[in-house]
């Protein structure tokens, strides 16, 4: 990588951002990974956004990794994440969450248009081998050169390898702001095979860059101090994402302990949404599920805090059908052919399996365990019993105050992740700093879950995997007193007076009878004797049931960010929203294409 100035160029930086226009077989990425991992002066965080029309098979990637034995300890980490390569963006979190690989699968120019960051280094693959035609939409015309230039900052160095740049390509690069490529060989210090040339150039336009570029790519914010309000999944995920990048984070919450709101749910499901047209909601859910599983497996204990065991979804209230042209890559996410042991278990429970789906990347998670693991990072300071009454801003520093005027915390950056109370604090912040965008209205939805410890007979009657469709049933969950089952949840207007546990139990029992009739029959005595317990919490959602995540400030206003309105998919969206906020703060490649990130933007139309 010396041809593009690495590793010297990244030394002294906390984060380095690389755009690779051709992932290929992964050789270049793995070589870069090893160089970064074994450089004591390397940046804390390395981002690689790599374009690919298709990805190598896992066996081919293992062949590449075998040439780098120093990375052997991380092979399993990569293997677990190597699945489901549908068109679009896929974020892989490697090396303890410090190396982020964003794979952008699709036509190169389309993928470039969906990226929103300023690269520090560009690795430009020069296209297919000699004698083969270029791929459709390849980066070999003026539009491709302009797409690359849009993702560069002044001084970005680009390495060109593989083929001598032609005069027309040199002209295109110069027209779009790059210097004329200079040749390098192994004899001149380039890390290329003896005699094989490579070229490099820099983005140094002779003109002033326009303001549109600055608005689309705000300058990265150096790691500093940030206050996060809210210690549920949303707030804890933001705090950990920032702390992992070197930030000092203070987390405030009105409750005396973390995860006191909806995140206190005893156990929750994580599975992708399915739609016939593979809607934006479905794509967002897969991106979120991928990131959440990466985080949970990095921080929590398998079998105790989570189980990535798969989830069966039955066509009860609505039919979920896969897209008609669903490819094999998508079936590693969701399949309409049930594994034989799953089909048999559902049949034993009396379940209606017509048009059922199997989500291999689904499972259950204890939200409270995840929150505690996220907040355990050494860069996070937790502060309970800290209800924020109002916000002020002095000299670009946010100040948060209690109702009696006691100062709670202060920092240049503020993230509101306090669910249904976020709109109130946004209004308070807008009074302090005019021009801040208000939030879309939120609706509170109370949910009640029925649960009890297993007895031998009902344990044998219930599937070992969760079942979703009319509410959900999660059985065989470890509990300090044995194992437990959970069923629910209800959807009630949070503004209405709660009816108590009896109606909720009746609702959950009826839903369970539709999902797993034989299993429900074995549990009926517990409902009749009153041994079934109830958990209650409130989720907050927008009208379109998508979260609100990202910046609310504009221009040079003080930094105000929001992560809220997760609804009943907090486990799906919280980590995704946290990574999106961290990317916007640090000028990093986002985990989502721009078209999807806009759909969950906190500043979207009210």
Q: What is the pLDDT of residues 368-422, one digit of tens each?
A: 999 999 999 999 999 999 999 999 999 999 999 999 999 999 999 999 999 999 9
Res 199 pLDDT > 70 = yes
Q: CA-CA distance, 16 to 588, in Å (whole number)?
A: 9
CATH superfamily, region 2-216 = Vaccinia Virus protein VP39 (3.40.50.150)
176-182 mean pLDDT: 92
Q: Is 392 helix (H, G, I), strand (E, B) or coil?
A: strand
Maximum alpha-carbon separation in the chain: 84
The pLDDT value given to residue 364: 98
320-333 mean pLDDT: 94
HEC per residue, 468-516 = EECEEEEEEEEECCEEEEEEECCCEECCCCCCCHHHHHHHHHHHHHHHC
Could you tell me the pLDDT band of residue 130, with boundaries at 50, 70 and 90? very low
Res 192 pLDDT > 80 = no
What does CATH list as the number for 311-360+443-541?
A: 3.30.9.10
Report the percent of the chain where pLDDT is more than 90: 77
Res 278 pLDDT > 60 = yes
Res 197 pLDDT > 80 = no
15: enclosing H helix or E strand: strand 15-20
Structure tokens at 319: 């039919």
Res 218 pLDDT > 80 = no
Return the CATH class of domain 225-260+369-441+543-599.
alpha beta
* pTM of the entire predicted model: 0.94
Peptide bond into 463 cis (omega under 30): no
Domain spans of the chain? Answer: 2-216, 225-260+369-441+543-599, 311-360+443-541
Indicate the average pLDDT of the chain. Answer: 91
* 276 φψ region: left (φ > 0), alpha (ψ -120 to 50), beta (else): alpha
Q: CA distances (Å), 355 to each of 314, 431, 588, in order?
A: 7, 53, 41
The pLDDT value given to residue 131: 45
488-494 mean pLDDT: 91
Q: CA-CA distance, 597 to 578, in Å (whole number)?
A: 12
* 466 φψ region: left (φ > 0), alpha (ψ -120 to 50), beta (else): beta
Note whether 461 and 349 are within 8 A (CB). Answer: yes
Environment class of residue 209 by beta-carbon count within 10 Å: exposed (0-12), middle (13-18) or buried (19+)? middle
Q: Do domains 2-216 and 225-260+369-441+543-599 have the same CATH topology?
A: no
Peptide bond into 236 cis (omega under 30): no
């Amino acid at each position: 990588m010396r041809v593009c100035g690495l590793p010297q160029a990244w030394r002294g930086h906390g984060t380095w951002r690389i755009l690779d226009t051709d992932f290929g077989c992964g050789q270049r990425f793995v070589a870069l990974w090893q160089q970064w991992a074994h450089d004591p002066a390397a940046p804390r965080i390395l981002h690689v956004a790599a374009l690919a029309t298709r990805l190598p098979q896992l066996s081919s990637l293992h062949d590449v990794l075998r040439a780098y034995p120093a990375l052997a300890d991380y092979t399993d980490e990569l293997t677990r994440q190597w699945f489901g390569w549908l068109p679009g963006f896929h974020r892989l979190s490697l090396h303890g969450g410090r190396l982020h690989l964003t794979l952008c699968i699709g036509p190169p120019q389309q993928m470039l248009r969906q990226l929103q960051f300023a690269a520090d280094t560009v690795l430009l693959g020069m296209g297919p081998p000699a004698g083969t035609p270029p791929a459709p939409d390849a980066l070999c015309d003026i539009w491709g050169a302009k797409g690359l230039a849009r993702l560069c900052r002044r001084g970005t160095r680009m390495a060109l390898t593989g083929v001598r740049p032609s005069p027309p390509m040199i002209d295109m690069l110069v027209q779009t702001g790059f210097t004329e490529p200079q040749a390098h060989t192994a004899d001149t210090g380039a890390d290329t095979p003896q005699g094989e040339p490579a070229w490099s150039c820099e983005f140094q336009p002779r003109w002033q860059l326009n303001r549109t570029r600055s608005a689309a790519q705000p300058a990265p914010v150096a790691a500093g101090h940030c206050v996060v309000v809210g210690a549920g999944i949303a707030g804890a995920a933001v705090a950990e994402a920032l702390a992992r990048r070197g930030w000092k984070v203070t987390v405030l919450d009105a409750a005396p302990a973390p995860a006191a709101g909806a995140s206190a749910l005893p156990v929750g499901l994580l599975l992708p949404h399915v739609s016939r047209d593979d809607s934006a909601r479905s794509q967002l859910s897969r991106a979120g599920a991928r990131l959440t599983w990466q985080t949970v497996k990095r921080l929590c204990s398998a079998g105790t805090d989570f189980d990535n065991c798969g989830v069966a979804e039955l066509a009860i209230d609505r039919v979920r059908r896969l897209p008609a042209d669903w490819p094999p890559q998508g079936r590693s996410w969701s399949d309409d052919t049930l594994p034989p042991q799953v089909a048999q278990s559902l049949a034993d429970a009396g379940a209606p399996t017509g048009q059922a789906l199997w989500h291999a990347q689904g499972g259950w998670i204890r939200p409270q365990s995840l929150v505690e693991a996220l907040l355990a990072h050494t860069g996070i300071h937790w502060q309970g019993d800290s209800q924020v009454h109002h916000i002020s801003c002095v000299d670009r520093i946010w100040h948060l105050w209690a109702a009696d005027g006691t100062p709670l915390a202060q920092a240049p950056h503020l993230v509101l992740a306090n669910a249904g109370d976020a709109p109130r604090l946004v209004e308070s912040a807008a009074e302090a700093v005019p021009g801040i965008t208000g939030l879309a209205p939120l609706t509170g939805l109370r949910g009640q879950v029925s649960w009890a410890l297993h007895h031998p007979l009902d344990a044998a009657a219930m599937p070992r995997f969760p079942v979703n469709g009319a509410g959900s049933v999660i059985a065989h969950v470890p509990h300090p007193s044995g194992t437990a089952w959970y069923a629910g949840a209800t959807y009630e207007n949070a503004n209405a007076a709660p009816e108590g546990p009896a109606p909720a139990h009746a609702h959950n029992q009826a839903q369970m009878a539709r999902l797993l009739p034989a299993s429900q029959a074995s549990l009926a005595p517990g409902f009749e004797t009153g041994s079934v317990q109830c958990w209650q919490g409130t989720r907050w959602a927008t009208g379109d049931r998508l979260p609100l995540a990202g910046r609310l400030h504009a221009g040079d206003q003080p930094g105000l960010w929001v992560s809220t309105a997760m609804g009943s998919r907090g486990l799906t969206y919280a980590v995704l929203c946290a990574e999106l906020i961290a990317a916007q703060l640090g000028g990093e490649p986002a985990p989502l294409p721009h078209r999807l990130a806009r759909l969950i933007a906190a500043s979207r139309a009210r």
